[in-house]
Amino acid sequence: MDNFLWLNGKPTSQGYIKVLPEHFVVKENLGFSFAGHGEHFVVKIHKVGENTKYVVNELAKACGVKSRDVSWAGLKDRHAVTEQWLSVHLPGKTDPDLSQFEAEHPGIKVLETARHDKKLRPGDLVGNWFELRLTDIDAPAAVIERLEKVQQHGVPNYFGEQRFGRGGNNVVKARAWGNDEFRVRDKSKRSFYLSAARSWLFNMVLSARIEQQNVHTVILGDCLQAPGRHDSELVETLDADWLRKVDAGELAITAPMVGDNALPTSADAEALELAVIDAEPALLKLIRDNRMRHERRPLLLKPEQLTWQQEDNDIVVSFALPAGCFATAVVRELMTVRELEGEHYANSDQ
């Protein structure tokens, strides 16, 4: 992640996150209500110290189905306290008794159940709410000063290091695959490497805009996107109205999630983006060979409901983020995270 610039310069303070699972709390927000009927049994799970896929496998056993019959809206960290919904395809069957499932798995609790007429699919959520305890901070006042800036200006909307694997291994593998050094047949590995490739290019473009000091500034040829929309507006002529809409949060400046089709930007924005992505020919070839479709992602991320409280050398921070955004991107702008001895928790499964 040191390849990518910070919005307000590299933090001077240091501290820890995730020393204990309860220091990283995540609660899922689906943003819709269940139908109350249908073939899908939905379960709200509270879990500690378990990854989502393990819970999926164990829940499938408890319901007497195969793992592929259980789905989710989003993966959640293992070394954390998390709440999320899972759906189980149980057509024509009554709701199962999960008391034995809970008894056999002390790290898992069933909070609610319901019925729905559709299965949950990845991305079927509005976002997540986080409560993080940043511990043993050497300069808490500096972190609070940065929190005030984050509240006003947001943070770079980077993909977190968990997207890239330990030591950036997913990007390394993606480059090698793009160079035809080996073939990837495993579906999950293909997905990891392709996601890492696109995320890396996005982060690099975002970092380049920070370096050129135009991350808050609309430039000619930018694609601007309204919140919750996938389409974008092209800036063909510069005028004050564009910047007013960006400042008001009505539109966001975007960077590419590169696909096999041409960039939708033009002029200065297109030149900036091409200079970055053309420097990674292996990743670009991989994305195009796999016919990925171009998308846009906002440059900046403004945490909602952001609050904090200092407790000696700890700071408890809470905020809500849209789906697909990373709490680690917020923490990265606040302080440098010290490495924990033993297990490396950066490569969580969220």
Q: Which residues are catalytic?
A: 77
User: CA–CA separation, 122 vs 72, rounded Å?
Assistant: 6
Residue 79: which residues within 8 A CB-CB, separation 6 or more? 18, 21, 24, 49, 343, 345, 348
Structure tokens given for 20 = 């204990």
Structure tokens at 207: 């970092």
DSSP state of 313: T
Contacts of 68 (CB under 8 A, 6+ apart): none
Beta bridge partners of 336: 14
Q: Write the CB contacts of 204 (distance below 8 Å, at least 6 apart in sequence).
A: 3, 4, 276, 277, 279, 280
* Neighbour tally for 51: CB within 10 Å: 18
